[in-house]
Structure 1
Amino acid sequence: MQQTIVERIDRVAEDVVSLTLRGATGPLAPWEPGAHIDLALPNWLTRQYSLCGDPADRECYRIAARYEPLSRGGSEYLHRFLRRGRTLDVSLPRNHFPLAPAPRYLFLAGGIGITPILPMLRAAVAAEIPASLVYVGQTLATMPFADELRSSHGDQVRIVATRQQGRPDLADLASTLDPATVVYCCGPASMLAAAQAAFPAERLHTERFHPAVRSFAPDTPFEAVCARSAQTIQVPADESLLEALIHAGHPVASGCREGVCGSCELTVVAGEPEHRDDIGAPAGRMYACVSRALSPRLVLDL
């Protein structure tokens, strides 16, 4: 973990605050567009936020959070109780949404989904790669960084306030796109579904803040063997692997507990995991908060 100090709290849209976090003991860990951090809050919650500042600035991280009345307490704390000067621990950056090299880009952002997209657009412009952004929100007042984007990037940015203009036709946009264009999209589930219907899968990269609704076979019990400690843990059908490990004395890191942040990644030595995450676990890895086992036993590097 890295220790930071809350240097600024800025209201950047209706119900959206931006936090500037300065390293408390020196430069912060480097990051690239698409990365996020875990933020450990004083109310014992850990939440994930995309980095939306300048990767060249090693002194500060910038994140933004929308107030969610039905949240589990993270956004409420940031909006109502956090104050300048507070010390907060943050994780090293992780990136499950990296910006891959491409001859040209189209960026699509919906609401707070602008946060990972903002540094991507800046990076493409700095590298003199043709890029454009379609930024969608209900009203201009609810869209963070809209003024910053228009002043910095002008005609490269199309801002769509849906209450006045309706939703953009992504299928029509796709029909006019150069075939070499790579598309990055982050926003609500409806936008991601529209993008997946409009653009070829091989040219579309998406990130979602909440897991997609999917169906799996009924949960069944299995064994988790911790290879380093030789401990065998029974994982019952009504408990996640993460919960079983924590109850057995293995303090596995966790954040979202929904399979979208990657903080609970484990190495699988033997056995066949059932991947239920939305990230796409690499070979030999799994995310303990949601994924289970297709084999009777999993051997983990713990």
Structure 2
Amino acid sequence: MLALDLFVNGLIIGLFYALMAVGLTMIFGILKIVNFAHGEFYMVGAYTYTLVSLALGVPPWLALPVAAATGAALGWATERWLMRPLYAGYGSWGLMKDEYAVVVTFGLSLLLINLVDKVVGPYPMRGPALSDVTRMAVGPFMMSGQKLITAGLSIVLLVGLALFIKRSLWGRQVQAVAQNRLGASIAGIDTARASSIIFMASGVLAALAGALLAPVINPAPDVGAFPAIKSYVIVVIGGMGSIPGSILAALALGVLESFGAVYLSYDYRDTFGLALLILILLFRPKGLFGERAREV
């Protein structure tokens, strides 16, 4: 029974990791860049949820959409005002796309951290819980209401994202841009809009991840650093740009941490992901679902 409990707990942890990692890998899959401000999207979502709930007295359930909207707005602004030069004119500055993205997103990360620190303060805050139920039975398992809600909403968000990408017109346009940006542009697809959509979706997922964990993590200006690092590890393990790979890697890491914390040592819990990363890179350098480069 203990092993089953640990497995389920690991899957719940993995679902949270997946929310963060999927948003990051979507941006890489479309633009072939890494967003180093992704952890700060998470931090902004956690703060938005907490401040709207506590300062304005908005019920926690209504604060979640506000956090999602904030994440979407931040993602849109990042793409529109910071990433858009990647598509037109960056070569004339003597910069490559990847170099520009690293500098700009890292600068945005520092800006957001210091802005929140000056406006809100450096001290951690505690977000209100979505559920007052501390323990509830779900079949043979006992879990908190907050954990159950977090797991359920994570599943809904990931399934909703998959349906959006596979079934909607905008989702198909995003897939076309991911496969061939120039070809999609020639076919009449608005590639800039597709990039904005993917940045907004990434911002929503990261912000909601922060909001859902706000009652547990106690938001502080630097709270997004560690989740971001884990997201980078998960994205590499799953394969850069692969959404299914990131989800599978996130679930695997969650289960590994859950078992390792009990059977090995809780103190080494955060090193298990790095160990898994090394093993995967030794045998699958492109990650679990990464595509090998084609030789011509």
Please indicate the TM-score interval, normalised by the length of the shorter structure: under 0.3
Structure with higher strand content: 1
**TM-score (structure 1 length as normaliser):** 0.23
Q: Specify which structure has the higher proportion of helix.
A: 2
Tell me the TM-score normalised to structure 2 length. 0.23
Q: Which has the larger radius of gyration?
A: 1
